[in-house]
A and B are shown apart, each in its own frame.
Chain A
Amino acid sequence: MTFLHKYPKAAKVAKANFIVAFIALAIGGLFGFVQALHRTNVFRGFINSGEYYTLLTGHGVLLALIFTTFFIAGLFVWGVTRSLDREPENLTFTWSWFWLMTIGLVMATVAILGGLVPDSSIRAAVLYTFYPPLQAHPMFYIGLALVLIGSWMAGADWFWSYRKWRADNPNERIPILTFMTLFTMLMWYVCTIGLALEVVGLLIPWSLGWVTEIEPLLPRTLFWFFGHAVVYFWLLPAYYVWYAILPKLSGGRLFSDSMTRIVFVIFLLLSTPVGYHHQYADAGISVGFKFYAMATTLLLLLPSLITLFTVVASMEHGARQRGGKGYLKWIGKLPWDSPAFVGCAFAGIMFAAGGFSGMINASMNINLLIHNTIWVPGHFHLTVGTAVALTFMAITYWLLPQLTGRKLKHKTLALIQPYAWFLGMTLMSNAMHRAGLAGVPRRTAEPEYMGFDFEPIFGTMAEMKWQIAIGGTILTISLILFLWVVVASWLAGEKSDKPVDDHIPEPLSGVEHTPAILDNMKLWFTLALVLVVLAYAFPLWEMVADGIFSPGALPRPS
Chain B
Amino acid sequence: MHIHKFEQFWIKLSFVLIAFFIATVVYGFVAMDLKVIGDHATIDPQNLEDTPFGNPGVREVTRNGQTEYEVYVQTIQFAFNPGTAQPIEVPVDTRVTFYVTSPDVLHGFDVAGTNLNTMAIPGQVAKFTTIFPEVREYGIVCNEYCGPAHHVMEGKIKVVPKSEFDISNLVE
Contact = CB atoms under 8 A, between A and B. Distances in A.
Interface of A: 49-50, 53, 56, 125, 127, 131, 133-134, 215-217, 220, 255-256, 258-259, 279-287, 290, 294-295, 298-299, 301-302, 305-306, 309-310, 313, 359, 362-369, 371-373, 438-447, 449-455, 509, 513-515, 542, 546, 550-554, 556, 558
Contacts of A451: 137, 139, 154-156
Interface in B127-172: 127, 137-139, 141-152, 154-156
Contact of B113 (A281, A439, A449): A439
A134 B2 CA distance: 53
Contact of B147 (A134, A255, A286): A134
Interface of B: 1-4, 6-7, 10-11, 14-15, 17-18, 21-22, 24-25, 28-29, 34-40, 42-46, 77, 100, 103-106, 108, 110-119, 121-127, 137-139, 141-152, 154-156
Given A285-B39, A438-B112, A452-B156, A302 B18 contact: yes
Nearest to B100: A283
Given A49-B151, A283-B100, 15 more contacts: A216-B121, A216-B122, A216-B124, A220-B106, A281-B126, A282-B121, A290-B38, A295-B22, A306-B10, A310-B7, A368-B36, A438-B112, A451-B156, A552-B45, A554-B46
B45 A282 contact: no
A372 B144 contact: yes
A364 to B, nearest CB: 5
B21 A298 contact: yes
16 contacts: A217-B121, A283-B38, A283-B39, A283-B121, A285-B38, A359-B21, A366-B28, A369-B115, A439-B113, A440-B112, A444-B145, A546-B42, A550-B123, A551-B42, A552-B123, A553-B45
B114 to A, nearest CB: 8
A301 B145 CA distance: 30
A281 B156 contact: no
Nearest to A48: B148
Contacts of A513: 1-2
B12 to A, nearest CB: 11
A542 B39 CA distance: 11
B16 to A, nearest CB: 11
A279 B39 CA distance: 12
Contact of B25 (A284, A364, A440, A554): A364
Contacts of A439: 110-114, 139, 141
A63 B29 CA distance: 37
B46 A446 contact: no
Contacts of B112: 438-440, 452, 454
Contacts of B105: 131, 133-134, 216, 553, 556
Contact of A50 (B46, B77, B116, B149): B149
Given A281-B118, A305-B14, A556-B104, A449 B141 contact: yes
A551 B43 CA distance: 7
